[in-house]
Chain A
Amino acid sequence: MLAPVESSRLPLAAAPKQLLLVSGMVVAIGLVTGLAWWDAAREADATLTDLGAEQAALASSMAVGLRAYLNGGERDPSRLADALLKGGPRIEHRGELRLLLAPPFETALRASDGRELSSPRLRDALDQGLPSIRLTRSEAAECGLVARTAMAGLAHLDAPFGRWGIVAVATAARERDREIRARWRLVLGVLVASGLVLGFGGIALRNQRKELQLERELVVAEVQRERDQKLLQAQRVATMGTFAMGIVHEVATPLGVIVGRAEQLLGKLKGDERLARSAEIIVEQVDLIQNTVRRFLDLARGGPPSFDRVDPADVVRSAATSVEHRFAKAHIALRADVPAHMPPVQGDRALLEHAIVNLLLNACEACSAGGHVEVLAREDAERVAFVVTDDGAGISPEDASQATEPFFTTKPAGSGTGLGLAIASEIAKAHRGELAIASNAPRGTRACIEIPSVS
């Protein structure tokens, strides 16, 4: 049994290519985003360092102010510290910038609001003479700032009472917020740009696919057109051949009678030379007619029909193959069903195939889109049957009885020659068989060519 015949499809390798392209784009976008993110992080780090430097400068300027106080003659360190911190609130920003003083001989740091702060890390940094350090969120909160990363600028001053330490602590909250917004802007920008690229890329790809599809359809249409032409050519040859065979057959017997009768006359006209010659001319002219008819047969068929052993299954398969494109175009399912082993028939392969093709095309035209046609070969006693059934419009008993007559057609004018079934019938007769057309219950038509098998 053959698989259902489908239209031939050309391979389309665009799908894997597209997948590769999209993957590449996603990786590229990820890479660009990652790089930009890394750069933004580095920028943020630099901002923090700058902030630290600013705080260190502030602390240094405070140190200059402290020196001025020292030069003013105040000798009580505690009062000196209070005096110095009194000006603090003028400089400080609530929650964002604070000033701390580390007087000599005290471990705690003093804030302008009088609070004492114990920060071993700031103390260590002061002792080490570091210009600035980064404070964690909790350390920033301890300094009375918002709980965000902060930078502390450090300065010290050696005075008669010992070493004074001045600390300016500022959170990087605003910078950080700005950075975060900048990062999101970056991500959004990248995403929008990527979306645009992907969108336009997608449209371009879709257009390209459409073009490919169109190109493919054109190729398929071209292939179908070529197959149609070949089929038409084969049909013409077979039609001519079948007619030629019919003509040869129809003409041969009357010619035989003419020759025989002329010879009879010839025998009786021995005495009359002129009449005898006339009878001879009749016989000669018959030979001429016979030669002409035979030449026509040779020309039409490319030789006389050759009756060989033919495998019925081969005939069915070839016939189905040569019309499958017509069925695909009309959206009609064609199924070929032949047994694995069949007895051969004596016949002309091309003619038999042509007869089945005619039955198939007739069935195809009888069906509307979505219809089904089945062709099968069966053996029964000493005969082989080729059966084509369809679930199309069906046929009335009156039409069925006339269907094999030449030029009979139920199709609209111009769409059928009315010769397809006549030729199939003629081919069946040439094979000592017959073509029967009948209604196929519950719907459609059944056409059957039955010919003797080779015993």
Chain B
Amino acid sequence: MSTSGHTSRILVVDDRPEMVDMIAEELGERGFRVCTTISGPKALDLLRSEPFDALVTDLRMPGVDGLTLLRASIELDPSRPVIVMTAYGSLETALEAVKGGTWQYLTKPFRADLLARLLEAALSSKHAR
């Protein structure tokens, strides 16, 4: 399933280190270059200072939450795919209020496989554009 060889840079944000480690390993094995952080404010700084091809973020985090990161990402680069991880499908409507950008949400827990496939599909359609 993994598409080795592509070198897309992914920023993974979740306030739980176990989660970011697991996602980083999974995506790393599939050939993604992964940068992780467990801090919302830090993620915001990274988005502003470094070029990332995609953002994977948890929705509910202390300080700066996933919705803020999503908005910041769209503001910086509307074509950058964003995948928001939610604990319950309840905040879909809140997410839907976000206009523009290419983003999707994944309800936890999900198969790492599914995240990788979503990312690949989003990145290939981005490159096609």
Chain A residues near B (Cβ < 8 Å): 245, 248-249, 252-261, 263-264, 286, 290, 294, 297, 304-308, 346, 348, 429-430, 432, 454
Contacts and interface: CB of A to CB of B under 8 A. Distances in A.
B91 A307 contact: yes
28 contacts: A245-B90, A252-B87, A252-B88, A253-B19, A253-B58, A253-B108, A254-B18, A256-B19, A256-B22, A256-B108, A256-B109, A257-B18, A257-B19, A257-B109, A259-B109, A260-B23, A263-B111, A263-B113, A264-B22, A264-B25, A297-B88, A304-B90, A307-B92, A307-B93, A307-B94, A308-B93, A346-B93, A346-B94
Nearest to B16: A253
B97 interface: yes
B88 A286 contact: no
Contacts of A294: 88
Q: What 5 pairs between A and B have smallest CB-CB spacing?
A: A256-B109, A252-B108, A252-B87, A255-B109, A260-B22
Most buried by A among B91, B92, B107: B91
B14 A253 contact: yes
Contact of A253 (B87, B91, B93, B97): B87
Contacts of A432: 60, 65, 67, 94
A257 B89 CA distance: 18
Given A253-B108, A256-B110, A260-B112, 19 more contacts: A253-B14, A253-B16, A253-B18, A256-B85, A258-B109, A259-B111, A260-B109, A261-B22, A263-B26, A263-B113, A264-B22, A264-B25, A294-B88, A297-B88, A304-B88, A307-B92, A346-B93, A346-B94, A432-B94
B39 to A, nearest CB: 16
B26 to A, nearest CB: 6
Interface in B56-109: 58, 60, 65, 67, 85, 87-94, 97, 107-109
A192 B28 CA distance: 108
Contacts of A286: 109
Contacts of A254: 16, 18
Contacts of B25: 264
A77 B90 CA distance: 138
Contacts of A245: 88, 90
Given A252-B109, A253-B87, A307-B90, A454 B97 contact: yes
A186 to B, nearest CB: 88
Contacts of A260: 22-23, 26, 109, 111-112
B111 A249 contact: no
Contacts of A256: 19, 22, 85, 108-110
B96 to A, nearest CB: 9
A257 B88 contact: no
Nearest to A260: B22
B74 to A, nearest CB: 13
A255 B108 contact: yes
A256 B109 CA distance: 4
Contacts of B107: 252
B14 to A, nearest CB: 7
A258 B109 CA distance: 9
A257 B16 contact: yes
Contact of B109 (A290, A297, A304): A290
A269 to B, nearest CB: 15
A216 to B, nearest CB: 45
Contact of A263 (B67, B87, B112): B112
Nearest to A245: B88
Nearest to B86: A252
Contacts of A429: 60
Interface string B4-26: 00000000001010110011011
B93 A306 contact: yes
Nearest to A255: B109
